[in-house]
Structure 1
Amino acid sequence: MTADAAQATGTAPGTILSMSNVEVIYDKVFLAIKGVSLEVGDGQMVALLGGNGAGKSTTLKTISGLLAPERGEVTRGHVHFRGEDLAPLSASQRVQRGLVHVLEGRRIFGHLTPEDNLLAAYPVRGSRARYQQLRDQVFTYFPRLKERSRTKAGYLSGGEQQMLAIGRALMTEPKLLMLDEPSLGLAPVLVEEIFAIIREINANEGVSVLLVEQNAAAALEIAHHAYLVENGHIVMSGEADVLRQNPDVQEFYLGGTGKVDYHNVKHYRRRKRWLA
């Protein structure tokens, strides 16, 4: 983002994505996120942490333009991507701008091979040579997909399907890669492998990453910055190393000591609501 664009949108230079005081309502009744503000810097990896129903997935769908099919709408606030207001843009236009969302649950075409899945994600107007370059890049990051490139994707393991979902996103040449629960349902060894590849993609390709995760320990290992969301509010943010050392985060999101003082749990919840 240029300095002029940053000044016009009220964001800091070097910021690829900014959300400012965003509220989202479903069915014109349920307030899902309440004044969420966050930023992702160029080349930065940011984690968005929280429990079930905290508002993490809604935040990603707000950015990618996928609220409407679920009868959700932004009722307040602004989202800017590379200095441009996203409100007038459709989901497909946002992808064209370089913003791609890997949904929770590994949404791949099970009846197609991994290679055909990659081809389906590649822009129609792209050249054959560029397609082959991007496909080979995906196979370099995920060699297991190359080994199984002619197997129907529905027969891949859960970890391989997650690799394919990320690989499909890379075929669009994203500037910002948003990942919703990539560790969901995977064995710890696979989570470690996939997160290591995400970190490699971020470092090698300069792709910014916004990572939604319930596995806070894994996310904080690879993220530069993190936000903690509870009940639709951002209640804590900071450098990932700082959050990892925070005693409240350790107790409630990193396993803690195993000794829970329920009086302090109630106090912590009250305090988080007050901070929000």
Structure 2
Amino acid sequence: MPALTLENIEVIYDKVFLATKGVSLEIGEGEMVALLGSNGAGKSTTLKSISGLLGPERGLVTRGDIRFGDQSILNLGAPERVALGLVHVLEGRRVFGHLTPDENLIAAYRGRNLGRFHELREQVYAYFPRLKERIKSKSGYLSGGEQQMLAIGRALMTEPKLIMLDEPSLGLSPLLVQEIFGIISEINAREKLSVLLVEQNAAATLDIVSRAYLIEQGQVVMSGSAEVLKANPDVQDFYLGGADHVDYHAVKHYRRRKRWLA
């Protein structure tokens, strides 16, 4: 049984703007899947429709169904979805800057079992030892990479079955991206945790996921294994820096369009 299934999801903002147009995707238990696309393509909206965070932005799922395991979750609020094991790490990290890393982890823990809390906290520090080194610092003074580590660690404190990561590479150096993506892969493998990774950095993402969906203008236009997408000439040209490395400054006109938009 898939961990998560989206069936023809349509999202409208302010009862006017159609943001996604029949998005369907599926994530298996323990699978790591990417949702790729350019800025404004509908990636973050899709995640918020899953986590139940559309309301504050005046968005609404008007069509389709979202199933987590064998249960439809469309009528559940965001806290109820977290309780089921579905957690969303928002773009921009959103850590509590006035709290220490330890206090951020305490704030995220939903249970009352002190022993289990210590187990989860040590697990987070094992994956992100840099956070333990900065345990007494205010989180607002951490580097961007450390804040991203804390955001992921805080999500792990909810004991999720599926974690959704929105642009974890945003604003980070290539070396930090490589480090964080490596830790995400390790968590996926060790904890058998399903991962939905939303990214514009297609090159780094396709190296760690098993499958990917490509979304453009609110629609899924392509899906398949990471190897299939990496081999696609349009994906190479528009998302991976170009298959043939053509110098477009040397040509007068370049009219090629993405085939799926033709």
TM superposition score normalised by structure 2: 0.96
Distance between the aligned counterparts of 1:127 and 1:84, measured in 2?
27
Runs of 4+ residues deviating >6 angstroms:
none
5+ residue gaps, structure 2: none
Match runs of 1:30-45 below 5 Å: 30-45=17-32
Separation of aligned partners in 2, 1:52 and 1:33: 14
1:66 aligns with 53
- 2:118 is equivalent to residue 132 of structure 1: yes
Instruction: Select which of 146, 162, 169 maps to 2:155.
Output: 169
Q: CA deviation at 1:87?
A: 1.0
Deviation at 1:262, TM superposition (A): 2.5
Q: Give the CA deviation at 1:17.
A: 0.2
Candidates 134, 157, 167, aligned match of 1:148: 134
Q: 3-state DSSP class of the match of 1:221?
A: coil
Residue identity matched to 1:151? S
1:17 aligns with 2:9: no
Q: Distance in 2 between matches of 1:241 and 1:131?
A: 39
Aligned mates of 2:97, 2:256 — CA distance in 1: 47
**Pair 1:219 & 2:211 matched:** no
Q: Which segment drifts farther, 241-250 or 110-119? A: 241-250
Task: Please give the residue correspondences for 1:186-225 in structure 2 after superposition, counting only pairs within 5 Å.
Answer: 186-225=172-211
Q: CA deviation at 1:245?
A: 1.2
What is the match of residue 230 of structure 2?
244
Cα displacement string for residues 53-77 of structure 1 (whole angstroms, at most 9, x for unaligned residues): 0000000000000000000001100
Give the aligned partner of residue 260 of structure 2. 272
**Aligned twin of 1:263:** 255
Q: 1:86-165 counterparts in 2 under 5 A?
A: 86-123=73-110, 125-165=111-151
Shift of residue 258 of structure 1? 3.2
**Structure 2: which amino acid aligns with 1:129?**
G
Which structure has the highest helix share of the two?
A: 1
Match of 2:158, SS state, is coil
Cα RMSD after superposing both structures? 1.0
Post-superposition shift, 1:247? Answer: 1.1
- Tell me, what secondary structure is at the counterpart of 1:211? strand
SS in 1 for 2:184: helix
String of CA shifts for 1:200-247, please: whole Å, max 9, x gaps.
Answer: 000000000000000000110100100000000000000011111111
What letter corresponds to residue 63 of structure 2 in structure 1? R
The one-character-per-residue Cα deviations of 1:23-74 (angstroms, maximum 9, x if unpaired) are: 0000000000000000000000000000000000000000000000000001
Rounded to whole Å, the distance in 2 between the matches of 1:174 and 1:262 is 47
2 CA distance for matches of 1:105 and 1:262? 35
Deviation at 1:185, TM superposition (A): 0.1
Amino acid at match of 2:91: E
- The answer for the alignment partner of 1:8 in structure 2 is none
Q: How many correspondences in the alignment?
A: 256
Separation in 1, partners of 2:203, 2:24: 23
Q: 1:262 corresponds to which letter in structure 2?
A: Y
CA apart distance, 1:142: 0.2
- Distance, in Å, in 2 between the alignment partners of 1:264 and 1:165 is 40
CA positional deviation for 1:273? 3.3
Q: Which of these residues, 156, 164, 181, is aligned with residue 178 of structure 1?
A: 164
| Structure 1 segments unaligned to the other structure (5+ residues) | 1-12
